[in-house]
Structure 1
């Protein structure tokens, strides 16, 4: 998915200043962002934000729906570029057609993960299919470490099998959890999984204590380590935990994503659809997109590519991180 804001702010992301984050669970509230147009589809953006910009290498999280396509118009994101990141698409309902400049043409369906590596440069389009009536899911970005941020673009698709839990179920789309490991490749250790909880259920998941974790709640009255996490909120847990305890206090099933990874040691600049390290790198990527260089072509999309927004009048600089 593109960040289609017409005036995207630059964001400098990195580990919190003054050492490790405080112990406990932080609750992060999303902000609504329209994806452009008169019938704009609105997403709930939980990463990045002032309170926290990264969870492991996860640097961007948009949570959307359930949207009635007859009202919202669904998703129709024209070809647009990416550098320095991987995109992770995960749906709860509906279907999205993906096309990219390395020749991939795939459908994103519920319970299936599409991972696209931008690396040196890729472009892609995303369109909800005509048979989609309700569109509901998340779009996630992963920052690539410096030694891999210029890697060749690529695409992977995987259908994780559901793993039963005592009181729920998990689908692991990246990394390892509950005895299952995803074959999808990443450039830093990561965890990405969908967890469903039965009404009133409590589950304890063994996790890597070197990871920091985020729990993004889609539905249900969920508690993480006793802290209430409402739908569309993202709960953050600092490294040092060997397990996460999740409780669904609702009389209906709950659904959530667990994201994790070791604290990302580098600072990054995010602007529009680019993840870089400097103002000059972002400017060069924007110029290459405007000239039609570097990012290839997306074949089969009916329409023009997205134009890049104007850069700010001053050099891209870091925002101060919350202490």
Structure 2
């Protein structure tokens, strides 16, 4: 999915700061989402929890959009014209509906609930995303992963994976990246990552063993849940710093609760993120934008989309300056 803001903020992101603890237990930071229109007069609106001023990355996860359930006949659904990416991987995950994906590798694939599509942008790729005619309700998340310096110019790639359903007492999980609860994904990433959908029965609780070297984020889709000792509401993301070996999640609602668990070791590199590009300097972003506007071969072309490409927004009238995660108090 593209960041379709007409004036996207520039972000220069450094390594995350260490998290705090209180009485031996990790302190959970609660990140609220902001609404962003996904283009057009009847725009589908998405809720963005990453990046924001209080936190720019969780592991290598650098972007999180959460949308729906959206009435497609009323809003027009998703129609994102061909647009570019550099220096990242996109992770598409749906709860309901169906999205048609086309990219400059020649991939033509459908994104369906419970199935992950992962696209590597590396040096450059472009793609389009359109909800299918049969979709009446669209609901899901779009996530980005920053690539480390060693691999940020990696070749274009596309992977599709259908994770097994892992059932435990009171919950079921689908682990699409990394490993959790005895389930491991074979999908290749360039830094260690965790990505899983977890659905909890009413009033159920689970305690998960997690990697102490990872920081984690729990994004709530539905229901009210308690993460460790902090209550999270729908569209909120709870952040837990490194050093924790278990995470306890409790569904405090009378209906099912669904959450997305993301994790990874702190991403130590400094990056610049603007629009759909990730680089290491202002000049990297300028060059990528120029290449896209010039229709260079760097990004290739999407075949089969019935329309033109998304133009790049204007660059900010300043050199992009550092923004780091602020200290925790």
- Asked if TM exceeds 0.5, the reply is yes
1:4 aligns with 2:4: yes
Cα shift at 1:305:
0.4
- Which of 31, 47, 57 is 2:34 aligned to? 31
CA deviation vs aligned residue, 1:164-194 (integer Å, no higher than 9, x gap) = 0111000000000010101111000000000
State how far apart, in whole Å, the 1-side matches of 2:290 and 2:12 are: 21
CA deviation vs aligned residue, 1:83-115 (integer Å, no higher than 9, x gap) = 000000000000000000011110000000000
Matches within 5 A, 1:216-227: 216-227=219-230
Structure 2: segments with no counterpart, 5+ residues = 22-26
Structure 1 counterpart of 2:24: none
State how far apart, in whole Å, the 1-side matches of 2:223 and 2:147 are: 33
1:202 aligns with 2:236: no
Cα–Cα, structure 1 residues 72 and 200, in superposed 2: closer, same or farther, change >3 Å?
Answer: same
Structure 2 counterpart of 1:252: 255
State how far apart, in whole Å, the 2-side matches of 1:318 and 1:95 are: 38
- RMSD, matched Cα: 0.8
Cα shift at 1:315:
1.3
Size of the aligned set, in residue pairs, is 321
Cα shift at 1:12:
1.4
1:307 aligns with 2:315: no
Cα shift at 1:320:
4.8
Q: Is the 8 A contact 2:117 2:161 kept in 1?
A: yes
Structure 2 counterpart of 1:182: 185
State how far apart, in whole Å, the 1-side matches of 2:9 and 2:29 are: 24
For structure 1, which segment, 7-16 or 203-212, has the greater mean C-alpha deviation from structure 2 after superposition? 7-16
State how far apart, in whole Å, the 1-side matches of 2:93 and 2:244 are: 26
Q: Is the 8 A contact 2:148 2:191 kept in 1?
A: yes
For structure 1, which segment, 19-28 or 276-285, has the greater mean C-alpha deviation from structure 2 after superposition? 19-28
Structure 1 counterpart of 2:69: 66
TM-score, normalised relative to structure 2 = 0.96
Structure 1: segments with no counterpart, 5+ residues = none
**What SS class does the counterpart of residue 251 from structure 1 fall into?**
coil
Structure 2 counterpart of 1:20: 18
State how far apart, in whole Å, the 2-side matches of 1:11 and 1:100 are: 26
